[in-house]
Amino acid sequence: MSITLRPIQEGDKPEWLNLWTGKGGYIEFYKSSHKITPEISDSTFARFLDPNEPVYSVVAIDDSTGKIIGFANYLTHRNTWTIENALYLNDLFVSEDVRLKGTGRKLIEYIYSEADRLKCKKCYWSTQFENHRAQLLYTKVGVKSGFLLYRRPD
């Protein structure tokens, strides 16, 4: 499968929204208890296009169809352990029907190149313990940090 990766564009919003909140999309995949409202999705997408926001998205396009088949949303932030910013890969998703064909790896490699471009020494992400398929890839392209993630209860 031949794919093209590029920064998200304004015209990508309908396809991105479908992968983000549509049936079989990212939010459904993670069985999120957090309600992603249209307002949240609109705000998130607007941030991708705002040059003053340190929030970005890259899309993976199937060259044979021209359709978006995956995305990676990421952001940069200050870090107390380095002078440089850190890059956090917030969301990574590939359509179920095209998984295991290298798109996830290419998206992560793109994120690594973005970390270099943005001068972020630290580049990290998290996933659910049960997401074993993704972890098969993550152990090939990254290292476990040894930390567990905790959050404030809903």
Residues 89 and 67: beta-carbon distance below 8 Å:
no
Tell how far CA 2 is from the center of its chain. 20
pLDDT value of residue 101: 87
The answer to whether 142 and 109 are in contact (CB under 8 A) is no
What pLDDT sits at residue 120?
97
The token pair that represents 38 in the structure block: 């249209």
Residue ranges per domain, the chain? 3-141
104-122 burial code (b ≥16 CB/10 A, e <16): bebbbebbbebbeebebee
Please report where in the chains the tokens 């440089």 appear, as a residue: 84
Task: Give Cβ neighbours of residue 115 (< 8 Å, ≥ 6 apart).
Answer: 87, 121, 123
Across the chain, the runs of DSSP E, i.e. the strands, are: 3-7, 55-62, 68-77, 86-94, 122-125
pLDDT by residue for the chain (154 residues), tens only, comes to 799 999 999 999 999 999 999 888 878 887 776 788 999 999 999 999 999 999 999 999 999 999 999 999 999 999 999 999 999 999 999 998 888 889 999 999 999 999 999 999 999 998 877 777 877 888 899 998 888 888 888 7
CA atoms of 24 and 135, how far apart (whole Å): 20
Cβ count near 145 (within 10 Å): 10
> Residue 28 CB: number of other CB atoms within 10 A?
13
- Give the pair of three-digit tokens for residue 70: 């995956």
In angstroms, rounded to a whole number, what is the distance separating the alpha carbons of residues 59 and 3?
Answer: 10
3-141 has CATH 1.20.210.10 classification: no
Which structure tokens are listed for 140?
Answer: 């090939």
